[in-house]
Each structure stands twice: as C-alpha cells, then as structure tokens.
Structure 1
Amino acid sequence: MPGMSTPETERPASEVPRPSGTAPKRTVLSWALWDWGGSAYSAVVVTFVFAPYLTSGVAADEVAGSAALGWVTGIAGVVVALLAPAVGTRADSSGRHRLWLGVNTFLVVACVLGMFFIRDSPGYLWPGLLLLGLAGIFYELAEVFYNAMLSRISTPSTAGRISGFGWGLGYFGGLALLVILLFTVIQPEVGLFGATDEDGMRYRIVAAASGVWFAVFAVPLLVFGPRDVPGAAAGPGGGVRGMVRQWGRDLLHVVERILDLFRSDRETLKFFLASAVFRDGLTTIFAFAGVIALGSYGFSGAEVIYLGVAANLVAGIGAVSAGWFDDRFGPRAVIIVGLVCLIAGSLPIIVSDSKTVFWVAAMWLCLFVGPVQAASRSFLSRITPPERAGENFGLYATTGRAVSFLGPFMFSTFIMLVGFQRAGAIGIALVLAVGLILFLPVGRPAEVRAQEH
C-alpha cells in the first residue's frame, strides 16, 4: 500500500518523479475493467471460439484455413512491431494516451462487431481473417497506451498489486464471458437470439457479444482514467504525407533510443530481450494448450472449452495473488520463481499421456503464467519514467513481436524430432529456460534505474 517501502522498491534521489500516491480506487478499477473486457475478446474471439470457427467452419478445408490464419497473424505481428514504438513515442510527446487508447479500442470493437456478418461459406474466409488481423493490430496498439498508464496510477510500492489486479481481472473477464456464452449460445441446440449452427449464426452472435462486452467495460477507463496532458501537442499536419513523415521521424527516434540503451542503459535493454523470450514461451503455452488437449489427450470440443474456463480462473487467481509478493519481494523474484515453476510444470506433459496428469499440469502452469506476465509489466513500469511510458511499452510490444516465432517454432521442431505431439512441451520449456537465463543477470528495478542515472 502507499508508504510501504522495501529495499527493492527504493528509488535514487535523482530519479524522475513518480506519482506521489496511488490513483483513486475508481480510477484503478476502471483501468482493470478495460482488461476485463479486452481479455474476454482475446479468449472468445482469438483463442477458443471465433478463430477456430474461421479455420474449421468457414474455410474450404481446415489445413488451408489454418495456414491462412497463420499468415494473417504473422503479417499483423509485423505491422505491430513496426508501429508500436513510434505510436508510443507520438503519444508520449503529445500527452494523449487516453485519446489514442479510446481510438484503438473503438477500432477493435468495430472489427469484432463486423465479424457478425461472416457466414460459414469459403467466400467469407478472407473478410473474416482481415477483420481478425485488423482487430489484433488495433488491440495490441491499444495495449501500449493501456500499459503505459500503469506508471500514472501506481507508486513503486503498489505497482505489483495494481498490475496483478488488472491482469487477474482480465482472466476473470475471459472466464465470465466464456461461461455466459457457453450456456446461452454455444451449448444449447437453439441458443440466445435463436442461435443455431445454420449460417454460422451461433459463432457470429458470439463475436458480436464479445464486441459489445469490450465496449461496455472500456467506457469507465475512457471516462475516469488518467487525463491527457493539458495543452497536448497537435498531430502532424500535411495530411497522409505528413503523418508518414512523422511516423518515419518517430521510428528513427526509436532506433536512436535503442542505441542509447545499448550505450548507457544495458540493464533495461537486457530486460527487453529476456522478457521478449520468456513472454513468447508464456504465449505459446496458451496457444497450444487446446491443441495438445485435443490431439494427445482425447479431449472433446466441450472439454476444451471447460479447460479454457478453468485456465482463466486459475490464471486470474495466480495473477491477483502474486501482486502482494511483487510489492513485498519485487517483480524480479516473482519472475524467477514463476519461470522455474513453469519449466518444472512442463515435464509431466512430456512423460505422461494421462488426462488427469494433463489437467493437473495445465492448472499448475496457469497458476504461474499470470504472475510472470503481470510482474514483467510491473518491472518495466518501475524502471520507466512516466514521460517515456508509451515509448518503452511500445518497445516492449515490438521486442515481443520480434521473437514471436520462437515458441511455435520450438514446439513444432521437437514434435518432428521426437515423433509425438506432447514432445512440443520440451520446446516450450526450453524457450522459458532461455528467457530465465537471459533474465538472471538483470538487476532489481532500483538498480536498473540507478544505472540509468
């Protein structure tokens, strides 16, 4: 809580001033509710329902549909990697984090609502993939501004709890919407609003409901969130050409920032590299959990949904609970312990084909995924001056995207080398281990900030 101090969170006198106190509870809750709505979109649209509908229900064949989804996802990732740091830099210089969070949130919601018109016919595959790709781009750009707000609503002694609370509420939001849709739209023979499998109506309603859900829970942050800086600079003139020139200047500034980090603040640069690797391992766990459950353990489609519900519940509990440990012992300790436990939790999947063993291992993994994610965001927030929050979280998104191929590549490589699907867990464990090794030399947040000065 405010006023609490530990050796890890003490700051040098020369540090750029942070907020004098945690933001009002209404502001913190509004910030967390954005994640409640956005993570529900991620769980329902991207992971468990709509994307699988595109590849298996809309595409002419599942293999071609999955390949197309992979290409679109990859292209979207490249776009985010190119735009995120420059967009964050522009928001920092203009002081308009809340404005651009609102713009990108609106664009995500518009794309998701557009998915209602994607019927289960091959002619709708590419429009559906285009909407999914655009929604992914706008969502990740929105997250740059969202994460950047953490340093404005927390202090060094509360950043861990607030970050964990937001991440945990995000998992609970995904859980809540999954459960609601499972029993009102997905499972019933005729669901809410007359939802059936005809024309893919069941999945189209799910997409529309996800868009409405996100829009509703994003509103509080756009109303009660940290205000944009008064007298913020106007955007570049000259129409589209002026915007392109400004983007080029911002991107050049980002390159100069990376070079400056290499020369004078290598601890922060090492954190960007290490977190990019282990965050890709965390993402891969969720991306392939359902695939392994179906292919190696004989789960039914309904059981995969139940797995998703349980995964979000356990991950949310882990993220919220770990916030106290983050503020008490520091995010570095939470990240190291979490990664060790994740690596250990991968081993039972490699050696056992028991469904019970998989359930236990999966829940163990989910318990530590949220804490590592939240502590990583908390770590960066603690070492980032507020006036560079957008820029640093833009770099955070870009470095993550730069190695986003690593987890899936290692997962597939070990399946090919060993000859069975569960061996993919070896690849995930190795990615997490490399991330841990890269992270160990990184100092505590106070030490990183001291080095910068």
Structure 2
Amino acid sequence: MSTHEPLPSPAEAPAPARAGSGRIFSRPVMAWASWDWGSAAFNAVMTTFVFTVYLTSDAFGGEARASQVLGWGLAAAGLLIALLAPVIGQRSDSGGRRKLWLGVNSAIVAVLTALCFFVFPSPEMLILGVALIAAANIFFEFAGVNYNAMLTQVSTPATIGRVSGFGWAMGYVGGIVALVVVLVVFIEPIVPWPGGSSENGLNIRLVAVFSALWFAAFALPVMFTVPEVPRKAAAARVAFFASYGLLVRRVKAIYRQSPHTIYFLLASAVFRDGLAAVFTFGGILAAGTFGFSTSMVIVFAIAANVIAAIGAVLGGFLDDRIGPKRVIIGALVGLLVAGTAILVLGTGSYSFFGINWTADTTFWVFGLLLTLFVGPAQSSSRGYLARLAPVGDEGELFGLYATTGRAVSFLAPALFALCIGLFGSQLYGVIGILVVLLAGLLLLLPVRPPAQVTRAVVPEA
C-alpha cells in the first residue's frame, strides 16, 4: 500500500450525498443513466452523423470551406473547454451546486441545439451554425464534468464499475434509438409528412429541434432523483480568476500525496484519444477503404453501438471483480489485436479455418471487435478516476480529466493523417491509431490501480 497521507476521517471530508445502494436498476441509477441516454441525441445526431454533415455540405459554400470553418470553430471550443473545465468543476463542488450546474448547462445545450433550426442552407448561415454547434459543445462538456462527478453519488465502492458501464451502455443504445427515429421520421420518412421535406433543409432543421427535446426530456430524471452535494462548510467564496491559483495548489497537493492520480490522468488522456479515433475514423475507413455504401455505413454504425453497449456492461461487471486497470489493459490489448488484424487482412482475401476472409468480411468482424473493447475502456477509465478523486472534489478532478483529454486530442487525427501520407493508402491510417493506443497502454502499465493509491486530501481556499 502507498505510504502517502491517510484518508480523511468522516469529520474532515464528508462522503458525497448518495442517492441509493448503487444497484443497476435502482431508481437513482436509472435516472442518472437517463442523462447519458438523452445526451446521445447531441453526440450522435448533431455532432457526428447528421447536423455537422448538413453543415459541411455544398449548400454552405463548399465542402472544403465549410469543413475548415467547422474545424476551427470546434478547435476554439476545445481550447475553452480545456481552460475552463477544471475551474467549473471546482466551483460546483465547493458551492454545493453540482446538480444545479448540470441542469443549467444541459438546458443551455438544449436551447443552443434547438436554435440550429434557424440555420438555413445558405453560405451566409455557416458562421451561425458553427457558432451554435461550438457553443453547445462547450456547455455539453461542462455538463459532462458534473455528470461524471455524480458517479460516486449513485454507486458504492463495490458497484462503481458496473454503474459506470451501464451509463456508457445507455448512451450507446440511446444513440441507436435516436438515429433510427431521425432516419425513419425525418431523413427517409416511412410515413409521408410535411416535416420530412428536404426543401430548404427543413427536415434537418427539425432534427435539431427533435434532438433538443430528446436531450431535455431525458436529462430531467436526474434532476429530481439524485440529491445535491452539500456545500463545503469550510469553503470560502473565491473569485473566478483566483480559482486558478487554488486549482494549481490543489493539483500540487494531489501530486505530493497521490502522484499516481496525476499519472493516470496523463495516461488516460492518451489512450482516450485513441478510443475516440476508433469511432471518428471507423465510418471513414468503412466507406473509403472497404467500399461500404452510405446505408451500409449506417447499418455498421448501429451494429457498432450495440456491440459497444454490450462491451460496456460486461466490462463494468469485470471492473468490480478484477479492478479497472486490468479491464483497461485487457481492452487496449484487444483493440491492438483487432486493429492489427484489420491492417494485415484488409488488403485482400484469405482462407482461415475453412472461411474465406474477404476485405469487407474482415472489417465487419474485426471492426465490430474494436467497438467491443472501446466500451469497457471508456467506462473503466471513468470508474478508475472516480475511485481516486478526493472526497467532495470529484467535479474538479473530472474537469482535469476533460482538460487533459483535450490537450492531446490532436494525437490520433495527426498520426492517422501522417501515416496515410507516408504509406499512400487510407488503410494505413490505422497504424496511427494503433500507435496512440499502444502509447496509452505503455503509460498506464506503471500506474498503480486504485486499490493501491490513497486519495489525496486537497486544501480548501
């Protein structure tokens, strides 16, 4: 065991206000996971598969220019998130307003999403559309900081892994359901109705309204079920910019008392960028390298989300039995094996065990295997950090979690592009993703598991 300072006594650091026993199908856990389900309408529909595709179409002045403007807008949003997320989490922790700010930020995301209805297909509307999506991304990440910090309130030390996994699974499945609704009601309506018209982008603009309502509706249960964290009795009111000085002092205290907490933040930032790249570039590879049609890409995306949800649930149960570090290591090894198989077998046809492996068969099998391992790695990463967070300061640490992730979010995309340039084929972009995953694995190996790390006690203002 670590020789760092012991955990604070209950009098020094009261446990967070809990909402129940942490059983998967208890009312508090279901209400908490409902937010993940609802947030998929923003993640999957608005920022991944539908609205940003609309926003980068020729109607907005050309695909290249629109994509460039969107890229710069999201980059600016990422910078603001990296700068502000830890302080946002810190202030909601100390003020006893974690749930309040989850609700406020979620409401802002819903409003900004709904306002995308007014983004008509015209070059003059591009800046408005990008500004709305970028701003919504900022407040979505702020909401996510408070939401992740609530994990310790709806779980117990014995159930934190499976509860985290269940939340991730709800997000995956919610994305599937939302995408299916969008497809059959707005994009290719099975029953003709005025809202299914593509004239003047009406159907896509209505998708924005649908996404806003979906997110708002499913974000409500957590507001009525999970209790607010208590305000810290010893916490003094700190000016906003003074919060950064306090943040630095607290990070130094965490490093002195529990350095492996900081090591995990750094390691997870790297491998989480690789995990994000699996989904970011999966559809691109399916269409560009393996010749999938648009409809087949959507089918693959739905199947991938189903498999990822199953993986997240199974990984959550393993997390509580063998610990999050072992789950993450196993998942990263699985990702490296599956990714290597795509790289090696994706260039032709082979026969193994009496089965003819064509290129598209290889991608279906090993591409879905990749998504099976993504869920457990994401879920256990959140559970790992929740176990290390100083009691009562979970929001601040999850803010740092967001910041470190944003700080290295260029790695996988840059290496993906670099490897394509070096080897002259889109398929070899997989090498870049594998390098990032391997680097994250190597950084994680020397980090102690939560059971061997003492939680830090951070100074108050």
> In the superposition, relative to structure 1, how do residues 155 and 231 fare at CA in structure 2: closer, same or farther (>3 Å)?
closer
Instruction: Give the partner amino acid of 1:293.
Output: A
Q: Secondary structure at the match of 2:189?
A: coil
- Distance, in Å, in 1 between the alignment partners of 2:83 and 2:283 is 30
Aligned residue for 1:48?
A: 49
Aligned residue for 2:311?
A: 318
Q: After TM superposition, where is structure 1 displaced by more than 4 Å over at least 4 residues in a row? A: 12-21, 189-193, 230-236, 450-453
Aligned residue for 1:3?
A: none
CA apart distance, 1:137: 0.4
- Deviations 1:349-369 (CA, angstroms, capped at 9, x unpaired): 323141221111221011111
Aligned residue for 1:379?
A: 384
The answer on 1:98 being equivalent to 2:103 is: no
- Distance, in Å, in 1 between the alignment partners of 2:117 and 2:409 is 29
> Is the CA contact 1:58–1:119 (under 8 Å) kept in the aligned structure 2?
no
Unaligned 5+ segments in structure 1 are 1-6, 237-244
Aligned residue for 2:260?
A: 267
- Deviations 1:62-91 (CA, angstroms, capped at 9, x unpaired): 111111111111110000001100011101
> In the superposition, relative to structure 1, how do residues 196 and 309 fare at CA in structure 2: closer, same or farther (>3 Å)?
same
Aligned residue for 1:22?
A: 21
> In the superposition, relative to structure 1, how do residues 278 and 230 fare at CA in structure 2: closer, same or farther (>3 Å)?
closer
- Deviations 1:276-320 (CA, angstroms, capped at 9, x unpaired): 000011111111111112211222222222122111111111101
Which deviates more from structure 2 when the two are superposed, residues 142-151 or residues 290-299?
290-299
Aligned residue for 1:364?
A: 369
Count of residue correspondences: 436
CA apart distance, 1:229: 2.1
CA apart distance, 1:189: 8.1
CA apart distance, 1:171: 0.4
Q: Secondary structure at the match of 1:404?
A: coil
> Is the CA contact 2:116–2:132 (under 8 Å) kept in the aligned structure 1?
yes
- Distance, in Å, in 1 between the alignment partners of 2:283 and 2:202 is 23
> In the superposition, relative to structure 1, how do residues 103 and 234 fare at CA in structure 2: closer, same or farther (>3 Å)?
farther
Instruction: Give the partner amino acid of 1:296.
Output: T
The answer on 1:219 being equivalent to 2:212 is: no
CA apart distance, 1:451: 8.1
Unaligned 5+ segments in structure 2 are 348-358
- Deviations 1:320-375 (CA, angstroms, capped at 9, x unpaired): 12111000001111000000001111113323141221111221011111110000
Aligned residue for 2:60?
A: 59
- Deviations 1:69-114 (CA, angstroms, capped at 9, x unpaired): 1111111000000110001110111011000000000000001101
- Distance, in Å, in 2 between the alignment partners of 1:233 and 1:207 is 44
CA-based RMSD of the aligned residues comes to 2.4
Q: Secondary structure at the match of 2:228?
A: coil
Aligned residue for 1:74?
A: 75
Aligned pairs for 1:48-447 within 5 A = 48-188=49-189, 192-229=193-230, 246-351=239-344, 352-353=346-347, 354-447=359-452
> In the superposition, relative to structure 1, how do residues 232 and 117 fare at CA in structure 2: closer, same or farther (>3 Å)?
farther
TM-score (structure 1 length as normaliser): 0.91
> Is the CA contact 2:94–2:232 (under 8 Å) kept in the aligned structure 1?
no
| Larger helix share, 1 or 2 | 1
CA apart distance, 1:257: 2.4
CA apart distance, 1:452: 7.5
CA apart distance, 1:39: 2.0
- Distance, in Å, in 1 between the alignment partners of 2:391 and 2:153 is 7
> Is the CA contact 1:149–1:226 (under 8 Å) kept in the aligned structure 2?
no
> In the superposition, relative to structure 1, how do residues 191 and 437 fare at CA in structure 2: closer, same or farther (>3 Å)?
farther
- Distance, in Å, in 2 between the alignment partners of 1:274 and 1:111 is 33
Instruction: Give the partner amino acid of 1:404.
Output: S
Instruction: Give the partner amino acid of 2:167.
Output: G
- Distance, in Å, in 2 between the alignment partners of 1:364 and 1:124 is 40
- Distance, in Å, in 2 between the alignment partners of 1:421 and 1:133 is 28
- Deviations 1:171-193 (CA, angstroms, capped at 9, x unpaired): 00001111122122212387554
- Distance, in Å, in 2 between the alignment partners of 1:294 and 1:268 is 40
> In the superposition, relative to structure 1, how do residues 83 and 125 fare at CA in structure 2: closer, same or farther (>3 Å)?
same
CA apart distance, 1:450: 6.5
CA apart distance, 1:23: 4.7
- Deviations 1:151-173 (CA, angstroms, capped at 9, x unpaired): 11211110001000011011000
TM-score (structure 2 length as normaliser): 0.89
Instruction: Give the partner amino acid of 2:21.
Output: T
CA apart distance, 1:22: 2.4
> In the superposition, relative to structure 1, how do residues 83 and 191 fare at CA in structure 2: closer, same or farther (>3 Å)?
farther
> Is the CA contact 1:94–1:232 (under 8 Å) kept in the aligned structure 2?
no
CA apart distance, 1:233: 10
- Distance, in Å, in 2 between the alignment partners of 1:100 and 1:235 is 19
Instruction: Give the partner amino acid of 2:447.
Output: V
CA apart distance, 1:14: 5.5
Q: Secondary structure at the match of 1:297?
A: coil
- Distance, in Å, in 2 between the alignment partners of 1:368 and 1:383 is 23
> Is the CA contact 1:331–1:375 (under 8 Å) kept in the aligned structure 2?
yes
- Distance, in Å, in 1 between the alignment partners of 2:125 and 2:394 is 39
> In the superposition, relative to structure 1, how do residues 382 and 413 fare at CA in structure 2: closer, same or farther (>3 Å)?
same
> Is the CA contact 1:91–1:390 (under 8 Å) kept in the aligned structure 2?
yes
- Distance, in Å, in 2 between the alignment partners of 1:447 and 1:193 is 60
Instruction: Give the partner amino acid of 2:188.
Output: Q
> Is the CA contact 1:190–1:196 (under 8 Å) kept in the aligned structure 2?
no
**What is the identity percentage for the equivalent residue pairs of Structure 1 and Structure 2?**
47
